[in-house]
Structure 1
Amino acid sequence: MTAPTLENSRVKLSLLDLSNYKHLETIAQQKDLIYYSPSDISTSEKLRDYVQLAVDGYYHKIVIPFIVFDKATQTYAGSTRFGLINWKNKLLHIGWTWIGHEFQGTGLNVNMKFLMLQYAFESLEFEKVEFRIDDRNNKSRRAVEKLGATLEGILRRDVPMKDGYRRNTCCYGILKEEWPGIKAELLKIIG
C-alpha cells in the first residue's frame, strides 16, 4: 500500500511517520487539544507512541496516517488519518484528527476532510466513510454535520477515556451515492 499525498491550495496531507512527527510536538502539548479522545499525546514519548501505533496500522494496511501542513501559514498544523480500513467491504473511518487551536475555525479542517473524502470515494472507490465522535464533542459533531454526514446512531458507553469515563460515541456516515451532492456543496465552501 502506498500512502497518497493529498493536496490543494490550502493544505497538504502526507504520510505521518517516525521521521516527521517531531514537527507536531509543540502543537500536541496544547491544553485540551484532544480532550475527547482516549489517546494521550501530551508528552514527546506519548506522541511517539501514538505515531508508532499509527505506523503499525499502516504496515498492516488498516490505517493511513497523515501529517497536516497548512499552506496559508507555512506550518505544520496537526494530524488526521484513515482508520479501520476494510478493503473487502470498501468502508473506512476518517478521524483521529487534531489541529492546533490556532488553526481551528480557519477553514483548514474542511479542506482536509474534502481531500480525504474525495480520495476515499473517487480514488479508492469505497462505498462508505464513517466518523466516530464523542457525544459531548459538539464542535466536532457540528463540523462533521456541516460536511454532510448523517448521524446513524449512538454507541452507548463504548470507549473508555483516560480519566475512566466511558463515552458515548456518535456514528456518522456518508455513502458513495451521497458524495456527488456533498462534493458540490463543499466546493462552494472551499472554492
Structure 2
Amino acid sequence: MIVPTLENNRVKLSLLDLSNYEHLLSIAQQKDLIYYSPSDISTPDKLRNYVQVAVDGYYHKTIIPFIVYDKEKQAYAGSTRFGLINWKNKILHIGWTWIAHEFQGTKLNANMKFLMLQYAFETLEFEKVEFRIDERNQKSRRAVEKLGATLEGILRKDTVMKDGFRRSTCCYGILKEEWPTIKSTIFKNF
C-alpha cells in the first residue's frame, strides 16, 4: 500500500512510523491532550507502543497513520490516521487525532480533515467516512459537526477508558454523495 503525502499550503500529512515518531515526544506529554481517548501516550515507551500498533495496522492495510506538520508554524503538531479501513465495503474512520494545545483553534485540524476527506472520497473512492467521539468531548463533537458530519447514533458504554470509566461513543458519518456539497460550502476556501 502506497501512502500519499497529503499536503496543502497549511499542513503536511506524511506517514507516521518508528523513524519519525520522536518528533511527537514533547507533544504527547502535554496535560489532557488525549483525555477522551482510551489510548495512552504519556511516556516515550507508551507513545512508541501507540505508534507500533499503527505501524502494524498499516502493514495489515487497516490503518494509515500520519504525522502532522504545520507549514505555517514550521513545526510538528501531532498525529491523525485513517483507521478501521474496510476495503470491501469502502468505509473508513478518521480519528486518533491529537494536536498540541498551541495548534488547536488555528484551523490546522480543518485543513487536515479536508485533505483526508478529499483523499478518502476522491482518490480512494470510498463510500463513507466515519468519526467516533467520546460523548463527553463537546469540543471534538462540534468540530466534526462543523465539517458537515451527521450524528448517526450513540453506542452506549462501549469503550473502556484508561481509568476504567465506560464511555459512550458518538458515531458520525459523511457519505460520498454528501462530499461535493460539503466541499463546496464548508471547505470552499481550501
TM over 0.5: yes
Q: Show the 5 A alignment for 1:6-155.
A: 6-155=6-155
Q: Deviations over 1:40-82 (max 9, x none)?
A: 0000000000000000000000000000000010000000000
Q: How far apart in 2 are the matches of 1:178 and 1:86?
A: 19
Partner SS, residue 93 of structure 2? strand
Letter in 1 for 2:26: T
Which whole-Å CA distance do the structure 1 matches of 2:79 and 2:185 have between them? 24
Compute the displacement of 1:187 (Å).
2.6
Structure 2 counterpart of 1:178, one-letter code: E
Find the residue that maps to 1:187 and give its secondary structure: coil
Q: Which runs of 5+ in 2 are unaligned?
A: none
Q: Structure 1, unaligned stretches of length 5 or more?
A: none
Q: 2:170 aligns to what? A: 170
Which stretches of structure 1, 4 residues or longer, exceed 4 Å deviation after superposition? none
User: Which digits, 9 at most, give the CA deviation of each residue in 1:111-158, with x for residues without a partner?
Assistant: 000000000000000000000000000000000000000000000000
Q: Distance in 2 between matches of 1:153 and 1:187?
A: 25
3-state SS of paired residue (1:31): coil
Instruction: Using the aligned pairs only, state the percent identity.
Output: 82
Quote the Cα distance in structure 1 between the aligned partners of 2:46 and 2:117.
29
Contact 1:114 1:186 in 2 (8 A): no
User: When the two structures are aligned, how many residues end up with a matched partner?
Assistant: 190
**Shift of residue 84, structure 1, vs aligned partner:** 0.1
Amino acid at match of 1:181: T
SS in structure 2 at match of 1:72: coil
Superposition TM-score, scaled by structure 2 size: 0.99
CA distance in 2, matches of 1:88, 1:63: 15
Deviation at 1:17, TM superposition (A): 0.1
